[in-house]
Structure 1
Amino acid sequence: MSEPVQPGALAGVRVLDLTQVMAGAYCSMLLADMGADVIKIERPEGGDDTRRMSRGSDVELSPAFNAMNRNKRGLAVDLKDPRGAEVVRRLARGADVLVENFRPGLLDRLGLGQEALRAENPGLVYCSISGFGATGPYAGRGGYDLVAQAMSGLMSMTGEPGRPPAKVGVPICDLNAGVFAAYGVLSAYIHRLRTGEGQFVDTSLLEAGIAYTVWETAMFFSLGDVARPMGSAHRLSAPYEALPTADGWIAIGAANQRNWERLCQALDCQALNRDPRFADNPGRMKHRIELAGELATRLRTRTTAAWLEVLENAGVPSGPLYDIEQVYSDPHVRARDMVVETEHPRMGTVRHIGAPVKLSGTPAAIRRPAPLLGQHSREVLVEAGMSAADIDELLADGVLLTTSAGDHPGAASEVSSPEPTEVSA
């Protein structure tokens, strides 16, 4: 028998998740991993848009949906029906947190905005994630990770010099917005524990991208330098980039003088250390391209594995360039529990990315896979005090949907519904 899962740090915290796709769903997933009771609220027909991001038409077989919605319970309700909106208001009266990522103003029109819900539950932490935030001239625009990467400056400094614009290989603005939203929620929740007062948490994809331009913004603010693409190289230190070997690539981080000297000794190229061009970091940055060429000539004489052993023994930070398959074959990644399995009623055994933060007393846990569409509708509403007769009426009228783990609903048609603020590129 498996050991019982310990209560997480957020055990007892009730979160309503009115999000779709990535940024908001990632925020609530992080809270769920730490033990919060997260109720995923979806439209009855079609559900979250990520349910259709799969190779088939079955909304229960989407790896994209399962990746963002583990550890959550599922409620399917039509928010456009006044009775459906009232269901959410009822749940919000007893919730600690609500997370949503619709365009600003849309939930206000449905009576589910932060002012309306916090009037009935002053302690509610209401978190909104949008493309551009709740204020400012772009507040009403829809937001997408690609657009945020472009407008935050990230695309202008990603890729190789002279090549077309390139976005970061993952939807970094979506994901970072989710992380910042979770950070904001927890900060507001700690404030509520002290004062009893909830508040409005507002973040955006654009700000999530801008916040990651730490080095580049510092250089612009202090020196007026405008960052341009540099491939894998660092803007302030050299050598600090991926370099070719006899059979692949190796990432070398000789970012200070001591590591630079160790690198020269490990590669048996002390002449580079005596070269005036490379004597200190300003010189190495000025002559970075020549330096990379000199190092590559030496590194191409041996394999990546051979050089990794040499550099590890010399104390020079380095690592191989992995593809995603190699990442999850690495023994250290597995030792850190970064691959976790759950059993899904339709997909069978499903692997998840493990929790990236380890707490010694109240560790995060992957307790369950993503819910089927409406899987916990009846369970959640019974807990909220609704009668069986009222629930049955809403089910009969199509305002609610419930699906048991043994059902096979198959494909669901897409219908008109409030649109999410962002979609992962």
Structure 2
Amino acid sequence: MLPLSGLRVLDITKFIAGPLCTQYLGAMGAEVLKIEDPDGGDGTRGMPPFIGNDGATYLAMNCNKRSLAIDLKTEQGRQIVYEIAATSDIVVESLAPGAADKLGVGWEALAKINPRIIYCAISGFGRSGPLGSQPGYEVMMQAFTGLMSVTGEPNSDPLRVGFSPLDQTTGLHALTGVLAALRIRDTTGTSNYIEVSLYETAAALLGWHAQSYWIDGKLPERCGSRHASLCPYQAFAASDGLIVIAVGSEHLWRRFCAATDLMDMCDDPRFRTNVDRVSHYEETIDRIQARIITQTVAHWTATLSEYRIPNAPVNTLETMLQHPQTEARGIILNFDHPVGGRMHAVAHPVVFGGRSREVLRPPPLLGEHTVEVLAELGYGTDSISQLKNNNVIRTQETGSF
């Protein structure tokens, strides 16, 4: 049995942070009911490339769920959600600021229906403060919080980190908050209201930069692949490509010098300690680069690995997906999709007791499970037909899939 089996999640999320949180709750066994706007559903459905009408981002963030397309602007639609909330353990919501309360699905409304429910609200800036009512998206948050100012090469323009770290890490903070709240409920019987935001996630990710700034008063600078406090700790050009070398201790430094035939640097006062090497960064890197360029990436990977020096070729995504380590760890999962046929997903990166991971449900089509769940709630055929005719719900049959 999976650790969250028996729990129900009311998922009122869209885009990345919230859906990732609920996807992982589903991967751990929870039943996840995703509530979507009948008019298009989760916005990531429309982000190419597509399988049918669903975009890759949607497909990557919405396994292990059932989809109900319900118009929350209608009284009948809200009533359906209230019935689901009454038997749910967790609500995760990431609507625009203030939208959940206006639609009647905010914390206060749902806590009255179910006093034991755990409610997690995800937003851009948090739900209070002078910017609390403002929307927040990944790229604007990377800019606003200073994350872009430390990303890129020293002489480049600020760059966006290319994999939406704020969205995804916010989803993980939401997940850990929900799990902690479940622990509180199990021990005290009380519910909880949880807030997470992209803004606070960014601040936390920049924590060590902030600490350095508080200590020496210097703003961090863009430094490419290098590390401001460690040297050598960056990418180097070999004769046929790039390799990252990470020397994180003095013990590793001595082994690195031996592996690269640079023992003359080992006890040189300019390079003896990490502090020395950081102080003489340009000279240190120039000396090492002149040595690394003389051999191939494969040569250095083999040699440095023999000396147990942390290193890695700068691979493409394709290389990682096809690597034997990826296969050995069971990271790529297969599932059958009603439109795409045989497809792949990246596994939840947690293994419980050596259990093989699997996609419990493929990403649902918009409204695919509306009729199924309404029937479970006790709605008859006539009632469901009336809801469809009144445009309160959308089902797979009433849309184009």
* Alignment TM-score, normalising by the size of structure 2: 0.96
1:87 corresponds to 2:43: no
**1:104 to partner: Cα distance:** 2.5
Q: Paired residue for 1:4?
A: none
Can you list the C-alpha shifts for 1:287-326, whole angstroms capped at 9, x where unaligned? Answer: 1222112111111111111111101111111111111111
1:168 corresponds to 2:161: yes
Match of 1:38 among 1, 11, 32: 32
User: Does the residue aligned with 2:366 lie in a helix, a strand or coil?
Assistant: coil
Distance 1:15 1:362 in 2: 23
Can you list the C-alpha shifts for 1:94-133, whole angstroms capped at 9, x where unaligned? Answer: 1101111112321111111101110110111111100001
Q: Paired residue for 2:21?
A: 27
Letter matched to residue 47 of structure 1:
G
Letter matched to residue 36 of structure 1:
A
Q: Paired residue for 1:357?
A: 350
Can you list the C-alpha shifts for 1:179-232, whole angstroms capped at 9, x where unaligned? Answer: 101111111111111122111110101111111113212212333232111111
Distance 2:124 2:183 in 1: 26
- CA-based RMSD of the aligned residues comes to 1.6
Q: Paired residue for 2:194?
A: 201
Aligned 1:37-116 pairs, distance under 5 A:
37-55=31-49, 58-59=52-53, 61-116=54-109
Name the count of aligned residue pairs: 401
Distance 1:346 1:57, change over 3 A: closer
Distance 2:134 2:326 in 1: 39
Q: Paired residue for 1:348?
A: 341
Identity over aligned residues, as a percent? Answer: 37
Q: Paired residue for 1:415?
A: none
Which structure carries more relative contact order (alpha carbon 8 Å, separation 6+)?
1
Distance 1:336 1:396, change over 3 A: same
Does the aligned pair in 1 maintain the 2:330–2:357 contact within 8 Å?
A: no
Does the aligned pair in 2 maintain the 1:34–1:364 contact within 8 Å?
A: no
Letter matched to residue 35 of structure 2:
I
Letter matched to residue 127 of structure 1:
C
Match of 2:279 among 282, 286, 295: 286
Distance 1:57 1:269 in 2: 53
Letter matched to residue 350 of structure 1:
M
Does the aligned pair in 2 maintain the 1:9–1:362 contact within 8 Å?
A: no
User: Does the residue aligned with 1:292 lie in a helix, a strand or coil?
Assistant: helix
Letter matched to residue 20 of structure 1:
K
Match of 1:388 among 381, 385, 391: 381
Distance 2:32 2:353 in 1: 23
Does the aligned pair in 1 maintain the 2:50–2:56 contact within 8 Å?
A: no
Letter matched to residue 19 of structure 1:
T
Distance 1:111 1:230 in 2: 48
Q: Paired residue for 2:372?
A: 379
List runs of 5+ in structure 1 lacking aligned partners: 1-6, 411-425
Q: Paired residue for 2:122?
A: 129
User: Does the residue aligned with 2:80 lie in a helix, a strand or coil?
Assistant: helix
Distance 2:80 2:371 in 1: 12
Does the aligned pair in 2 maintain the 1:133–1:202 contact within 8 Å?
A: yes
Does the aligned pair in 2 maintain the 1:8–1:363 contact within 8 Å?
A: no
List runs of 5+ in structure 2 lacking aligned partners: none
Letter matched to residue 160 of structure 2:
K
Q: Paired residue for 2:132?
A: 139
Letter matched to residue 195 of structure 2:
D
Can you list the C-alpha shifts for 1:379-416, whole angstroms capped at 9, x where unaligned? Answer: 11222233333222111211111116xx9824xxxxxx
